Amino acid sequence: MSIGYYNKRLERLRNKIDIYRFAVEEINDVISGVYEELSGQDKIIVKLKFLLPSSESHFFKRFLDEGIVKSHEYLDLLNYANLKIVNAITSKAFDYNYSYETIDLFKSRVVFDSFSEKTNSDKKVIGIGIYFEGVKNLTVTDITTAIKICVSNKANFSDQIRLYVYKNEVRKSNLVVNHKLKKVLKTSNSNIITINDRNGLTDYYSNPDVMKLLFEYFFPDSSSTTICKITYDKLQKDQEATKSLRIKKGPNRYEKITEFLTPSTTNQEFREIIYYNSIGAFYCGTQDVENHLKYFVFDFDVSKFFKYSFERNKQVIFTLLKNVANAIIRVVREFGIQGYPVVKFSGSRGLHLLYRKSKSSAIGTKASGRSCATLV
């Protein structure tokens, strides 16, 4: 087996077993329950401890026992998971110290640091500490936001995440919270599209009007049949969709979706492609298959700090994104590009603005989460 093939197989396995997440939404209730005891304290110390997976980890052994992971791949996957967790935690302490220094309320009063230790059974733990000092009138949201931004998606492979909260100093008598976060299937989040949504998405994309918009997006030059590069989300049963370039055309027969679609593809043919390949979303590239630039894109997101700070009032985030989008459109017009771009929702906290290179405006659509793209 070649090294290249083996590495690609490991990457597919990593995606296949990444089906769980930690329920960070619990943190709101946990902190709310002790808020009266924490409010008014001169110092609050939070410790998030991530138990790194070992060869005895129940989570990983399950996939070995089920035959999903082979014995010779087991240690490589474990090493990958450990590396991802450690890198994510250590980098976040630096990143968030920098970010919080830009906020007057928290400047020099909220500090993040990373640490490592071992349990009594000699298992490795990587952690992040959050120190609130001299910050009066902290709200529940202030505390929970600082905690939740530290729980990276890369930490999903941890055996356990435990939350500790102390008042004034780290000592047993000052311990206010000792909480183990639940590990749940990612599909327990109702915003994730799964294979159960296939029928509805097939009906949506094969709607003649939607299909027309998509094909104007895929074939931006009306005088040519050259298609843009396309990837798509392949819906899964119990995990997030995975990216793919190829569609299945028969037993052991695959080809790139761009090799099949033409301006004359019928509605029925398009419908069959979507349904039998479980397509959840289309991603049209900025170049065509001959590497000619067709679109340029502005990609921007709000930070996780904003996402969690305003998760109970998401209109604030949408308004911020809309204001930034309008500002970009105004600046682009100053450079002589008229019209409006394609606006695509990017995950849960961002937007993509796409301008067609050869024309002043562009048309297109894409499903993302449970939302579909709209025009500005």
Q: What is the pLDDT of residues 346-358, one digit of tens each?
A: 766 788 888 887 5
Q: By C-alpha distance, which of 135, 130, 136 is closest to 165?
A: 130
- What whole-number distance in Å separates Cα of residue 19 and Cα of residue 156? 9
- For residue 190, name the pLDDT band (cuts at 50, 70, 90): low
**188 pLDDT tier (thresholds 50, 70, 90):** low
pLDDT at 126: 94
Answer yes or no: is pLDDT of 376 > 60.
no
**31-45: pLDDT as tens digits:** 999 999 988 788 999
Over the stretch 90-101, which tens digit does the pLDDT of each residue have? 888 888 888 888
Judged by DSSP in three states, 28 sits in helix
Average model confidence (pLDDT) across the chain: 84
pTM of the model: 0.76
Q: How long a stretch of residues is the chain?
A: 376
Q: What b/e readout covers 334-346, taking b as 16+ CB neighbours within 10 angstroms?
A: eeebeebbbbbbb
Q: Please report which confidence band the pLDDT of residue 6 belongs to, taking 50, 70 and 90 as the band edges.
A: confident
Say if residue 128's pLDDT is above 60: yes
Residue reference for tokens 């949504």: 197
Mean pLDDT within 216-235: 87
Confidence category of residue 52, pLDDT binned at 50, 70, 90? very high
**pLDDT over 90 at 127, yes or no:** yes
Q: Is 62 helix (H, G, I), strand (E, B) or coil?
A: helix
Read off φ and ψ for residue 172, nearest 5 degrees.
Answer: -55, -40
Crossing angle between the packed helical segments 267-276 and 208-218, to the nearest 10 degrees: 80
Lowest mean pLDDT, pick from 15-19, 21-25, 262-266: 15-19
DSSP state of 293: B
Residue 155 near residue 88 (C-beta atoms within 8 A): yes
- Looking at the predicted structure, is the pLDDT value of residue 62 above 80? yes
186 close to 21: Cβ distance less than 8 angstroms: yes
Query: In sequence order, what are the beta bridge partners of 287?
Result: 293
Residue 337 clears pLDDT 80, i.e. is over it: no
Query: Would you place residue 130 in the very low, low, confident or very high pLDDT band (cuts 50, 70, 90)?
Result: very high
Q: Is the pLDDT at 246 greater than 50, yes or no?
A: yes
| Distance in angstroms (rounded) separating the CA atoms of residues 315 and 311 | 9
Span 350-376, average pLDDT = 50
Residue 364 has pLDDT above 50, yes or no: no
Report the pLDDT value the prediction gives residue 47, as an integer from 0 to 100. Answer: 96
Query: What's the start-to-end Cα distance of the chain, in Å?
Result: 50
CA distance to 63, 84, 201, 268, per residue, from 78 (Å): 12, 10, 36, 45
239 C-beta neighbours (distance < 10 Å), count = 19
Structural tokens at position 289: 């298959």
Axis crossing angle, helix 140-148 with helix 26-38, rounded to the nearest 10 = 130
